[in-house]
Amino acid sequence: MNVLAPVRRDRVVADLPQCFRKEAALHTRPEFHSSVTSACQEQRTGTVGFKISKIIVVGDLAVGKTCLINRFCKDTFDKNYKATIGVDFEMERFEVLGVPFSLQLWDTAGQERFKCIASTYYRGAQAIVIVFDVNDVASLDHTRQWLADALKENDPSNVILFLVGSKKDLSTPAQYSRMEKDALRVAQEMQAEFWAVSSLTGENVRDFFFRVAALTFESSVLAELERGSARRIGDAVRIGSTESDLYLSAPRKKPKCCQ
Ligand SMILES: Nc1nc2c(ncn2[C@@H]2O[C@H](COP(=O)(O)OP(=O)(O)OP(=O)(O)O)[C@@H](O)[C@H]2O)c(=O)[nH]1
Ligand SMILES: [Mg+2]
């Protein structure tokens, strides 16, 4: 990655990308938080422009984690399964509201025998993406365990969660809508934002990663502003939230499934 090269034009985020389902979204506001927009306009984003946000992608073997990352980062799709051994990562540079912002996407192994290597890379994540296959209900059940393992290495109140159903192209509309009901329930229980994607067709892949970039950026700027306010008045001030901040209006508690 060349940090000095301009950001690709198709990685510029000028408006807040919308959620996939309002019932399971991190928030449903139509625009970036107004304090984030004004901080960007006035160049008061502190260290955010130099930051690299770590995103970890976890889930059962062969659910499509590597294909999801490759579809977005390289616009490729491989129909042959090659298990990830340990971990791999890709860097993606964005520009959000005129501020440079980089994501480091950690692709971890789902196979049990590689899991202990992969889990040593979980620490320090700003977002956790838990992937399951929409055609495999067991992989949805296992997402609770993947979340619990990832949260052992991260502070639950400081991490944002996405639950992603993969291989949407392989299910009929009827099968998909039955599965979506269960997935929305699991996402609400975890306080995760739900998405369904296909890496084969590319459906929703770009929208999903743009949403990840936008929400991690927004939370980084809000954290920076809170730190700034705390320094100025010697006390932490919470940036005002509204009822459209579904999961973000209250600090995250440990999800029930992980207690
Ligand atoms: N039809 C279809 N097949 C997919 C899709 N995504 C992945 N696959 C296939 O599913 C298999 C597994 O995909 P991977 O991305 O390697 O799975 P993984 O989750 O990275 O697996 P591990 O690295 O072992 O944890 C491959 O044969 C892919 O071609 C999709 O969106 N649609
Ligand atoms: Mg893989």
Atom number in ligand 1 closest to CA 109: 25
Residue 6: the pLDDT is 78
State whether the beta carbon of 198 lies less than 6 angstroms from ligand 1: yes
Query: Which of 67, 164, 203 has most ligand 1 atoms within 8 Å of CB, for mutation?
Result: 67
Residue 3: the pLDDT is 54
State whether the beta carbon of 66 lies less than 6 angstroms from ligand 1: yes
CB 19 within 8 A of CB 193: yes
Which ligand has its closest atom nearest to the C-alpha of 166? 1
pTM: 0.91
- 244 Cα to the center of ligand 2, angstroms: 35
CB 194 within 8 A of CB 21: yes
pLDDT (tens, 9 = 90+) of the chain, 259 residues, equals 555 567 888 999 999 999 999 999 999 999 999 999 999 999 989 888 888 999 999 999 999 999 999 999 999 999 999 999 999 999 999 999 999 999 999 999 999 999 889 889 999 999 999 999 999 999 999 999 999 999 999 999 999 999 999 999 999 999 999 999 999 999 999 999 999 999 999 999 999 999 999 999 999 999 999 887 766 655 444 444 554 665 654 455 555 544 4
Tokens linked to 62: 């062969």
- 63 Cα to the center of ligand 2, angstroms: 8
Q: Are strands 99-108 and 87-96 parallel, antiparallel or unpaired?
A: antiparallel
- 224 Cα to the center of ligand 2, angstroms: 34
State whether the beta carbon of 53 lies less than 6 angstroms from ligand 1: no
SS (H, E, C) 165-184: EECHHHCCHHHHHHHHHHHH
ipTM of the complex: 0.99
- 68 Cα to the center of ligand 2, angstroms: 9
Residue 25: the pLDDT is 97
Residue 199: the pLDDT is 98
Give ion ligand 2 contacts, CB < 5 A. 65-66, 84
State whether the beta carbon of 171 lies less than 6 angstroms from ligand 1: no
- 83 Cα to the center of ligand 2, angstroms: 5
Q: Angle formed by the axes of helices 173-190 and 143-152, to 10°? A: 30
What's the CA gap between 193 and 183, in Å, rounded? Answer: 10
CA angle 15/19/22 to nearest 5° reads 135
Q: Which of 52, 48, 31 is CA-nearest to residue 40?
A: 48
